[in-house]
Amino acid sequence: MSVPVRQMWTIASYVLKQRILGNKRYPLVLMLEPLFRCNLACAGCGKIQHPVEILRKHLSPEECFAAADECGAPVISIPGGEPLLHPQIGEIVAGLVARKKFVYLCTNAILLEKHLPKFKPSPYLTFSIHLDGPQEEHDFAVCREGVYDVAISAIKTAIAQGYRVTTNTTVYNNAQPEALREMFDTLADLGVEGMMLSPGYQYEKAPIQTLFLQRQQTVSLFRKLFSNAKKRWKFNLSPLFIEFLQGAWNLECTPWGSPTYNLFGWQKPCYLMNEGYTKTFKELMETTHWPDYGRASGNPKCANCMVHCGYEPTAVAQTFGSWNGLYHTAIRTFFGPRQKNLPPLDEPPSSADSGTGTRHPLGEFVALSPLGNSSSSGSSSRSSELAGVASRQLNGSPAAAS
Ligand code: SF4
Ligand code: SF4
């Protein structure tokens, strides 16, 4: 199992509590962006294109704590920018850990070894290292030579010092499946706790717009990545999300599952898109017109999105929705990603693919109500399997960001 039982239990309890309280929309992972400044300028990044006066600013520790308290999510991901450039990052992490939040600090690792003394190993703290492939591929993706070697060295040091270490990988349309599988072997050898993978989101501000995968390309690539997956590869992805990336399920996005707080306030509607801000989390939840988002909405900005921060909360909510779900968690945890019975890739797109419970060209459509109840227009056995597929891990760190 690639995630500690304590974390699994906390998340499961949280989800069950929300269900008992009848909350239809609730956060699972707070995406806390304390600054936008970075020491890299990756080709696919959509976070660092702000005026200099904004890039110089950062949230105070008090603002970070207030956001965490207001939101209440059990997991906090700290992307950026590069969080290690924040002068008070040690204080911020310590304050969140003291609140018993599971913190994923996303970093490109350039400064990690230097800044490790600012932190203390804890079951609540994980460094999530940005790694987009083996040496050549990673250095190309981050547009600087030598970064891969620095990241690998930092991973070794952090693990040796007793920290939890995961990786986050964004894949683009130039991804080489064999190269990525080679990276999975390397990371398994290093002993990372888990690997998080996600297709990149087509940020309007990303400097190179031709890098991004269309939905069918994403499915095709992830089938190759997970084909004959080795048992020793540990993924920070729920089994349901893995199957979603392989085109087995048409999940609907739950953008409120990973709310984003940054210098401007609470970002509407999600981590990837920016359609305004609210001052409070309550206002975000109450004033965002959620039906305008997600693939079923027809919003073109969501059409090709299969990103972790939008769909993993859906998967996790389904995971902990039933005892059957826990049973299937165990099955997927012990036997790994599903290899068989994936729907054919070459079925033509269908106008029925509207998110209303009809058959999806990539598989059976499962209509998911907000973070909870599922209903399927497909076979009931597949539906109950989906409702029950359980999580190997919840990791809030978005590969798409850092
Ligand atoms: S589908 Fe993607 S871009 Fe659209 S709301 Fe969900 S996470 Fe955001
Ligand atoms: S993707 Fe991450 S590491 Fe790269 S420029 Fe953006 S914030 Fe920095």
Amino acid at 206: A
Tell me, what's the pLDDT at 143?
93
Ligand 2 pocket: which of 35, 39, 48, 86 to mutate (most atoms within 8 A of CB): 48
Environment class of 316 (CB within 10 Å of its CB; exposed 0-12, middle 13-18, buried 19+) = buried
Tell me, what's the pLDDT at 49?
87
Runs of H (alpha helix) within 75-146: 89-98, 112-115, 135-141
Dig out the tokens for 28 from the structure. 């699972």
> Which ligand 1 atom sits closest to the C-alpha of 270?
8
Residue in the block written with tokens 């989800």: 15
Which residue's alpha carbon is nearest to atom 2 within ligand 2? 402
- Tell me phi and psi for residue 128, to 5 degrees: -105, 105
- Looking at the CA of 288, which ligand is closest? 1
Tell me, what's the pLDDT at 240?
83
Tell me, what's the pLDDT at 351?
30
Centroid of ligand 1 to alpha carbon of 16 (angstroms)? 25
Separation of alpha carbons 62 and 223, rounded Å: 44
The total of other beta-carbon atoms located within 10 Å of residue 192's CB is: 24
Separation of alpha carbons 31 and 260, rounded Å: 5
Separation of alpha carbons 73 and 108, rounded Å: 24
Ligand 1 neighbourhood includes 305 CB (under 6 angstroms)? yes
* List of domains in the chain: 5-365 (3.20.20.70)
pLDDT values of the chain reduced to their tens digit, one per residue, 402 residues: 567 889 989 998 998 899 899 998 999 999 999 999 999 998 888 888 899 999 999 999 999 999 999 999 999 999 979 999 999 999 999 999 999 999 999 999 999 999 999 999 999 999 999 999 999 999 999 999 999 999 999 999 999 999 999 999 999 888 899 999 999 999 999 999 999 999 988 878 777 778 888 888 999 999 999 998 998 999 999 888 888 899 887 788 999 999 999 999 999 999 999 999 999 999 999 999 999 999 889 999 999 999 999 999 988 877 776 565 556 656 666 666 666 667 776 653 333 233 333 333 333 333 333 333 333 333 333 333 323 222 322 233 333 333
Centroid of ligand 1 to alpha carbon of 253 (angstroms)? 6
The total of other beta-carbon atoms located within 10 Å of residue 119's CB is: 20
Name the DSSP letter for residue 104: E
Centroid of ligand 2 to alpha carbon of 26 (angstroms)? 28
Separation of alpha carbons 108 and 79, rounded Å: 10
Dig out the tokens for 159 from the structure. 């693990």
Tell me, what's the pLDDT at 348?
36
Whether 363 contacts 249, CB under 8 Å: yes
Centroid of ligand 2 to alpha carbon of 136 (angstroms)? 17
Which residue's alpha carbon is nearest to atom 1 within ligand 2? 402
Tell me, what's the pLDDT at 399?
34
Question: pTM for the full model?
Answer: 0.85
- Looking at the CA of 33, which ligand is closest? 2
Centroid of ligand 1 to alpha carbon of 255 (angstroms)? 6
Centroid of ligand 1 to alpha carbon of 272 (angstroms)? 7
> Which ligand 2 atom sits closest to the C-alpha of 40?
5
- Tell me phi and psi for residue 22, to 5 degrees: 80, 20
